[in-house]
Amino acid sequence: MVKRVLVDAGFFIGRQGRWWSPKGSVRRAWNRWQRSGSKTDFFKFQAAMRKAVRNDISYLNFRIRQAGFGKAESITICYDGVEGCANRIALFPHYKQNRREANPDGSPSTTIPDIRATFVDLGFNPDAMAVGWKALYDESKEADDLIAESVLAASPTDELLVMTSDSDLFQCWNLHPKVRIHNFVEEIHKKDVEKKLGIPITLYADWKAISGDATDNIPGVPNLGGSAAATLLKTHKGLESIPDEYLTTVVIAQPERVSESLAKFRAENEMSMAATVREHGDYWRRVEKGQSLALRGEQYATMAEVVGEHDVLVTNHKDLCRTYQRIIKLPFHSV
């Protein structure tokens, strides 16, 4: 049995929020330098950043020991490649658009900053941030790709500790029988995550493809949140088995004409509003009264023969969900 630790380098990016908080040591050193403009204060600012990195490394070591991996065979930091988003962007151009820097022409860049350059500028070796530590980097892969591939390649007898705040890496539980996940504060347990999400982790990529993820700019299916996505997946056992109408959205483009059509249908069939609501649901009343301009596919199916097809905009999101699923699923395959 060998113990191995895999660390998402995003940890260091997250910790920089502490550096630059109003009372953070790096912020205070920066402010002093900005006020004085002296070389001495500039060097003190750099020293404060180096100390902050050393403190972050010490904190990681503390959490690793606390998790029982103090004598791990290897501790490996996994970095995002500068072109790590490119293959996913090729599938879905808006992927992480909210987090990517802009090109000179204002368009979002396909590259991401290389945090290793910051470490080098501060006098650290990004491939050996601490004694005995290692590193993985591939310019065409994100850190979670490297972590997932390492987990998948590990011996079944290895004990693995994945340290990350990225929930996508919950999928590591699908890849190895002895993997533990730590979010830099506490260990995260599979049974707790499954209870919270309402799905088995094997369906995580399906669930996120439907419910969406604002962090990665993945919209999912409009008007379907996490709970509804979990219910669909538990019922149908996976994205591919969900009927199309449940992944379809309908926008009422001509509310007055739709309202007239629904009211006419009720009158011709001598149906009161109360009876219609009992049979179809309250959404019929809201649409007829112009109070709602959006429907789910299964709701629209009950009035599709009544409403003119040119009065609504129908969008099936299943193909998009397949793309989102492919982007989310680890390890990622570009082909």
Tell whether 253 and 181 lie within a shared domain. Answer: no
What is the DSSP code string of 82-126? TTTTHHHHHH-TTTTTTTSPBPTTSSBPS----HHHHHHHTT--T
23 band by pLDDT with thresholds 50, 70 and 90: confident
- Nearest Cα residue to 175 out of 151, 200, 142: 151
Q: Do 53 and 158 fall into the same domain?
A: yes
Asked whether residue 334 is assigned to any structural domain, the reply reads no
| pLDDT given at position 335 | 66
Torsion over CA: 275, 279, 282, 286 (sign): negative
Q: What is the pLDDT of residues 101-115, one digit of tens each?
A: 778 877 778 888 899
Q: Is residue 206 part of a domain?
A: no
Give the pLDDT of residue 308: 85
Question: Could you tell me if 197 and 220 are in contact, meaning their C-beta atoms sit under 8 angstroms apart?
Answer: no
* Same domain as 254, residue 180: no
User: What's the CATH code of the domain at 254?
Assistant: 1.10.260
Average pLDDT of span 288-297: 90
Give the range of the structural domain holding residue 123, as residue numbers without chain letter.
Answer: 3-79+114-188
Residues 21 and 163 in one domain: yes
Shared-domain flag, residues 284 and 180: no
For 38-92, the pLDDT digits (tens) are: 999 999 999 999 999 999 999 999 999 999 999 999 999 999 999 999 999 999 9
Of the candidates 188, 208, 228, which is a domain's last residue?
188
* 333 within a domain of the structure (yes/no): no
Number of domains in the chain: 2
pLDDT score, position 223: 85
pLDDT of residue 136 exceeding 70, the answer is yes
